Amino acid sequence: MKRPLCLVSVIFLGIWLFLAGGLQLSEDQKPSPLEQYTQDGDELILQGTVSKREERPEYQILSLTDVQIRHKEQFIEESKLLVYVEQISNQTTEKETASDRVSVGSQIRVSGEVQFFEEARNPGNFDRKFYYRKQGIHASVWADSCQIIEKKTGDIREYLTRFRIKWKELLIECLGETYGNCMSAILIGDKSELDEEIKDLYQKSGIGHILAISGLHMSFIGIGLYQILRKFGIPFLPAGLIGITFLLLYTCMIGSGVSSQRALVMFAVRVGADMSGRDYDLPTSLALAASVIVFCQPLYLFDAGFLLSFGALLGIAVVEPVLKIYSVVPGFLRGGAAIHLVLLPILLYYYYEIPTYSILLNLAVIPLMSFVLGAGIFGSLAALFDMQIGKAVLSICKWILRGYETGAFGSLSLPYGWIVTGQPEKWMIVLYYLLLFGGCAAAMYASGKMAVKKQTAGTKKAKEKMAEVWLGSRLIRACICAGIPLFCAATLLTHRVEGEVRVTMIDVGQGDGFYLKSPSGSHCMIDGGSTDVSSVGAYRIEPFLKSQGVGMLDYVFVSHGDEDHLSGIRELLLSQKFGIRIGKLILPDEQVLDGALLELANTAEQTGTEVGVIHAGEQWSDGEMYLKCLAPSREYDGESGNAASMVLELDYGNFEMLFTGDVEGEGEDALVQAKCLRDYDILKAAHHGSKNSTTRAFLEQTRPEITWISAGINNRYGHPHKETVERLENAGSITMKTQDFGAVTVYTDGKQMRMEMFCKIKDFPI
């Protein structure tokens, strides 16, 4: 109540959260005109003004504003658009010259195919559509041709862009590719050529925040400049205006991210407090900054970067004072503990795992960032006058970054270096914050009571009250200390329902990938690969598994040696040191192992994974659940490949499901002739629904109620084929495709099954 501006900002955020979440207040949440009147892949001719330019080794990324689009006989207006350009030419020559290069502020004409950003196709996957929507961008175009219609010179944004490019080149020249790109990410926010292994290492160990322009960096630069100007005797107003102008230009150069916007608003509040002779109040400036950002773009309320950036400072402003009063943790751990208490649910909701030793690691990382930033800035300035001096100063950054790598690697190598918990339920997050901030409020109230009682201590009644307050404070301390382990354990338990079998058809694009959880909680994969999604293991399979609380796969079954069934499994094997671990790799009968499967087995052995084979008639059981191999039989003498696919039958109570790999032709005929098939609740259609599989004879024996088909959207093979879909419909089977529903999951207790299509739920009696 003593902070009226803070109170008003908090109330505004509460109202805005309700409106944005319930009423879809943001215009960017609605389809743009381009989305309404065109389809993915349509040819467009468009014209717009370049507002931002980013350089890549082989192409440029241009952000256009005020875009005028012609599609067939229709004219469409779009506020923003992303354009990828390989070469810029003027209207009279195809050869690019320095004068023809596009510049910020210029107007260009582009022709090419429109591409709309894809939503997440599986739980836990990155939502590219939301990422760009919160920036006001709804589509992109890869330019077939690009012409400069009106070239503009003198735009400050173009000078800042060139300065940014030159600065990056200087850092790479002084520090080499690896550490030059690291410093480029830290100083100018350019992560386009950052080493993926280093990026992954930093993120997994909990120090990934240093590889981005954060509010800490901005505050260091802005406040540092402001204090220098004040020491030179410059008055508050001009020093503040110079500092704000500098941060505005810096924000324009690096891009207007959430952290830079927050730092800019909070710095302006700080300067305003100094100029007005008032004390700077962290909670007020934090709440005001959040209100300003959310008012401009409500979608940021659901953005991980926004929540992490503001959550960290909220921990310092609200939780750290409580930890200090009650001495819950040692002083040197207090700030990190406060931040982690606030950020824990956010980290688990968006990243599904917690680096156990990140608090200790950040004790060294965060203080040293001042030296990294200082050496990076002053070393860059020195290099302009003397390259050798600049390299010497910048070498400080290299040694510190090497130390960061060693620390990150060491923390992950320790026992329980990271724990995969899965994604918590939203009600758990709400309850956690109610308890955390309610506990902090009660603790502050108790501390006030304690101070009053100390002043009137001496009477018996006063001593009794002091004892009550002391006991209450200890209870509060216990609750705060237990918050992290209890929340992690509760999150993990929500994904481990005993006595239930769960099968998920992961949307891997053009390929197969199935996750199976047994009644006792064992985790398996049946295939995992794709031919149209690059790095399918890293971007689709692993995030999905982690979101479900899976840190280790007990068994991985690979049906045959095609890339669209094993490419993701290979990725998991190669990255399991700090990724998803694999206990045992199971391959088909030895007689059908081809070169791809033998190579996969060799990779598994090199990474410490046990390799085995399964023969027809053998089975793996878990309580009342059985996973039995039906093919290929020992008598099979055909070629390896699709026809020799491993076929698995899942049996749990009254629930039966058949996994067919890519079996077709003589392999499918052998199954029919062996008469080992029966009626199934769910059939995984072979070979992505190709016309040469799932024959009428096969369906007469299997009679599936539901058929799952895994195939990529608009794949070049035309899967599933029309003939196969018609055969399934004639057999009375309900067809469910990843193309339509994304990931599809079935839950069953052996009596009843529940089907979930990423966000739609239906119940089917068995």
pLDDT tens per residue across span 344-373: 899 999 999 999 888 888 888 888 888 898
Rounded average pLDDT over 607-635? 92
Tokens of 389: 């001096």
Which residue type does 387 have? M
pLDDT over 90 (residue 475) = no
Four-residue CA torsion sign, 423, 426, 427, 432:
positive
Residue found under tokens 């020491």: 231
* The predicted structure's pLDDT at residue 449: 58
* Contact (CB, 8 A) for 526 and 106: no
3-state secondary structure of 499: coil
CA distance 130 to 117: 8
* The predicted structure's pLDDT at residue 699: 95
∠ Cα 712 718 719 (to 5°):
55
The pLDDT tens digits of the residues spanning 555-602 come to 999 999 999 999 999 999 999 888 899 999 999 988 888 999 999 999
* Contact (CB, 8 A) for 142 and 84: yes
Position 476 confidence tier, pLDDT thresholds 50, 70, 90 = low
pLDDT over 80 (residue 455) = no
Tokens of 490: 């509760």
Rounded average pLDDT over 366-388? 89
Position 248 confidence tier, pLDDT thresholds 50, 70, 90 = confident
Q: Which residues are within 8 A (CB) of 411 and not within 5 positions of it... i.e. 6 or more apart?
A: 205, 206, 355, 356, 357, 358, 360, 361, 417
Q: What is the DSSP string of 21-86?
A: HHH---GGGSPPHHHHH--TT-EEEEEEEEEEEEE-SS-EEEEEEEEEEEETTEEEEEEEEEEEES
Q: Say if 31-153 and 501-765 have the same CATH topology.
A: no
Pairing relationship of beta strands 760-765 and 752-757 according to DSSP bridges: antiparallel
Position 497 confidence tier, pLDDT thresholds 50, 70, 90 = confident
150: left (phi over 0), alpha (psi -120 to 50) or beta: beta
* The predicted structure's pLDDT at residue 270: 81
Specify the DSSP class assigned to residue 541. I
CA distance 371 to 367: 8
Other beta carbons within 10 Å of 30 = 11
Rounded average pLDDT over 455-466? 52
Least reliable range by pLDDT among 293-307, 644-658, 704-718? 293-307
**Beta bridge pairs of residue 556:** 525, 585
CA distances from 450 to 315, 326, 330, 467 (A): 23, 11, 21, 10
pLDDT over 80 (residue 91) = no
Question: Can you name the CATH fold of 31-153?
Answer: OB fold (Dihydrolipoamide Acetyltransferase, E2P) (2.40.50)
CA distance 559 to 266: 57
Instruction: Classify each residue of 117-140 as buried b or exposed e, where b means 16 or more C-beta atoms within 10 Å of its C-beta.
Output: beebbbbbbeeebbebbbbbbbbb
Rounded average pLDDT over 492-498? 83
Position 12 confidence tier, pLDDT thresholds 50, 70, 90 = confident
- For helices 358-385 and 156-188, give the axis angle rounded to 10 degrees: 140
Between 116 and 214, whose confidence is greater? 116
* The predicted structure's pLDDT at residue 189: 80
Averaged confidence pLDDT in the chain = 86
Between 639 and 410, whose confidence is greater? 410
Cα 488 from chain centroid? 19
Position 209 confidence tier, pLDDT thresholds 50, 70, 90 = confident
Tokens of 568: 């993701």
* The predicted structure's pLDDT at residue 460: 52
Position 93 confidence tier, pLDDT thresholds 50, 70, 90 = very low
Rounded average pLDDT over 620-639? 88
Percent pLDDT > 90 in the chain is 46
Q: What is the DSSP string of 418-436?
A: EEE--PPPHHHHHHHHHHH
Q: Count CA atoms closer than 13 A to 376's CA, side-chain side.
A: 28
Q: Which helix (H) or strand (E) holds 340?
A: helix 331-351
Rg (CA), the chain: 30
**Beta bridge pairs of residue 505:** 514, 744
The pLDDT tens digits of the residues spanning 504-561 come to 999 999 999 999 999 999 999 999 999 999 999 999 999 999 999 999 999 999 999 9
Q: Which helix (H) or strand (E) holds 603?
A: helix 595-606
* The predicted structure's pLDDT at residue 688: 95
Position 735 confidence tier, pLDDT thresholds 50, 70, 90 = very high
CA distances from 293 to 254, 265, 287, 759 (A): 17, 9, 10, 30
Options 3.90.870.10, 3.40.220.10, 3.50.50.60, 3.60.15.10; CATH of 501-765: 3.60.15.10
Shortest CA distance to 294 belongs to which of 64, 82, 11, 80? 11
Residue found under tokens 């009650």: 326
> Domain locations in the chain?
31-153, 161-302+368-411, 306-351+424-494, 501-765
**Beta bridge pairs of residue 526:** 514, 557
* The predicted structure's pLDDT at residue 732: 93
**Beta bridge pairs of residue 763:** 754
Pairing relationship of beta strands 552-557 and 523-528 according to DSSP bridges: parallel
pLDDT over 70 (residue 453) = no
* The predicted structure's pLDDT at residue 366: 83
Position 22 confidence tier, pLDDT thresholds 50, 70, 90 = low
User: What's the predicted TM-score (pTM) here?
Assistant: 0.89
Least reliable range by pLDDT among 91-105, 192-206, 587-601? 91-105
* The predicted structure's pLDDT at residue 124: 93
Position 92 confidence tier, pLDDT thresholds 50, 70, 90 = very low
Cα 406 from chain centroid? 24
Rounded average pLDDT over 325-346? 80
* The predicted structure's pLDDT at residue 592: 87
* Contact (CB, 8 A) for 155 and 104: yes
Position 95 confidence tier, pLDDT thresholds 50, 70, 90 = very low
